Chain A
């Protein structure tokens, strides 16, 4: 009997001592953390994408609570989330409109043919080491998917030689922007439907040769716009999102179909 009881008591004693030690340590080395940090973190999406600029959701929660500010919105979460967080802290939330990544290029294989048979590493950054562009247009999307790899939300894919972005899945975190060696990605408010899907700053004749739907800088859009929302600079049309009303006049006027009204039927160029 003793053989069972004695080890039993000894082990129980050890357990008691260890437990007490842990309890004392948890009290003595306790670091005070505002319990609201946990609450804010629970409200955040938990994707740890870094789109806000902080190292993960916990870090953003710490910033929000410790610095008592909602100046840095989580670009991934619904606007209602930032409102809830603001309420928690007794602050006013500034509602930001959802933004989505947009590719300013429509140089698909049909529109801008391949200028070479590229056999190197299938990555955009690797390709620009070998050639400034692999298509006829010097500015075109390479279609090798460095941005697709970077997307944490599975919102991008390659189709017909260019990147296609699923605007439902895209959270506007902005990580992909810096992954394009041709600087073709921008964030735009999702309500902005009129987009110049071209980044070619070559003169008209060259741009025309480079791609079927390139912007040739003819300025017809600028002339027809009644809101001064579109202007041509360096032979490329650019839209001022503040002024644009999505009326669609420029889309109709463009002779090369370089301007798109997102969400509407795209006309194949004649």
Chain B
């Protein structure tokens, strides 16, 4: 008998590739740094305040839930931090602290823990919070500080201007400004370039795949291009639509969120198409200037269905 030295018995396999939930989450945080950098540069310490406070609130809330309800929750696994940062990137830099707190509560508790915690939520928590705040506190959520001006001046975003004043008013905006971020908006939506750099890192690590960003952005482009072609006086150019608003943030970070997006490639394409379609619809014909958040939340509801009816092709099944 081996006495104390009992041999370990477990099911195969015994090996591990070395991936972990923490690694993935903190890689996403890393990939968001360029965009955060731009927002700090453009909006100054106010932006830092928003990001730090929201992140702290989110992590603290999850830690509280872990303490009182389910000690198995790893509140430091990075998922609360990612939610916090993404939520912050959807907010204006002059958001008051109570707005950040309410948003964090909605994101973590209603958007995530109530469903059963990590991996169980249907809707993207940051977007749930953002939409909640938008509808409950429209005033605070639609006054956007102008980048570079730290005296509290606020203005409308390019999409806001487009909706209220029409195509002529946005004509003078340069595409380069839109892409780099010299426009009004939330912390995360301003610089498409910074977001792309971060997303490239996630592509390299294979944490996101091409299907959702390409189909999402592509659909918006095609849809807006069609209407621009029909009536350029009434509708803005597709390039404008591409670089304005939260499209890049939404397509690269929110729609691709692992938990709330489909698993198979085919399902992802349909998901991205749906997001793009509804974003374009709301932007062109809806009364809200921006449709990305609503579109993604709407498509989130279809994800279990998409997974069920558009799964990976099985080995040995002919159709």
Interface residues of A (CB under 8 A from B): 114-121, 126, 129-131, 134
Contacts of B11 in A (CB 8 A): 120-121, 126, 129-130
The stretch from B1-9, B212-220, B230-238, B267-275 touching chain A is B1-9
Interface status of B19 (Cβ within 8 A of chain A):
no
Contacts of A120 in B (CB 8 A): 9-11
Structural contact, A130 and B9, CB atoms closer than 8 A = yes
- B6-39: contact bitstring with A at CB < 8 Å (1 yes, 0 no)? 1111110000000000000000000000000000
- What are 19 sample pairs from A and B whose C-beta atoms fall under 8 A apart? A114-B6, A115-B6, A116-B6, A116-B8, A116-B9, A117-B6, A117-B7, A117-B9, A118-B9, A118-B10, A119-B8, A119-B9, A119-B10, A120-B9, A120-B10, A121-B11, A130-B9, A130-B11, A134-B9
Contacts of A118 in B (CB 8 A): 9-10
B65 → chain A closest CB, angstroms: 24
Could you tell me the dominant secondary structure of chain B's interface residues? loop
Interface residues of B (CB under 8 A from A): 6-11
A127 → chain B closest CB, angstroms: 9
Contacts of B6 in A (CB 8 A): 114-117
A209 → chain B closest CB, angstroms: 10
Contacts of B10 in A (CB 8 A): 118-120, 130
A210 → chain B closest CB, angstroms: 12
B14 → chain A closest CB, angstroms: 10
Q: Which residue of A lies closest to B12 (CB)?
A: A130
In the complex, A201 Cα to B9 Cα: how many Å? Answer: 25
B2 → chain A closest CB, angstroms: 9
In the complex, A114 Cα to B5 Cα: how many Å? Answer: 11
A100 → chain B closest CB, angstroms: 33
In the complex, A130 Cα to B10 Cα: how many Å? Answer: 6
- Rank and list the top 9 A-B pairs by shortest CB-CB distance, nearest first: A117-B6, A116-B9, A119-B10, A120-B10, A117-B8, A120-B11, A118-B9, A130-B11, A130-B9
In the complex, A115 Cα to B6 Cα: how many Å? Answer: 7
Q: A117-B7, A119-B10 are known; give 20 further A-B pairs, CB within 8 A.
A: A114-B6, A115-B6, A116-B6, A116-B7, A116-B8, A116-B9, A117-B6, A117-B8, A118-B9, A118-B10, A119-B8, A119-B9, A120-B9, A120-B10, A120-B11, A126-B11, A129-B11, A130-B9, A131-B9, A134-B9
In the complex, A118 Cα to B9 Cα: how many Å? Answer: 5
Contacts of A116 in B (CB 8 A): 6-9
In the complex, A120 Cα to B10 Cα: how many Å? Answer: 5
Q: Which residue of B lies closest to A118 (CB)?
A: B9
Contacts of A114 in B (CB 8 A): 6
Contacts of A129 in B (CB 8 A): 11
Contacts of A119 in B (CB 8 A): 8-10
Contacts of B9 in A (CB 8 A): 116-120, 130-131, 134
Contacts of A131 in B (CB 8 A): 9
Q: Which residue of A lies closest to B8 (CB)?
A: A117
Q: Which residue of B lies closest to A115 (CB)?
A: B6
In the complex, A131 Cα to B7 Cα: how many Å? Answer: 12
In the complex, A63 Cα to B9 Cα: how many Å? Answer: 49
B242 → chain A closest CB, angstroms: 49
Q: Which residue of A lies closest to B7 (CB)?
A: A116
A251 → chain B closest CB, angstroms: 30
Q: Which residue of A lies closest to B6 (CB)?
A: A117
B312 → chain A closest CB, angstroms: 25
Contacts of A134 in B (CB 8 A): 9
In the complex, A126 Cα to B10 Cα: how many Å? Answer: 10
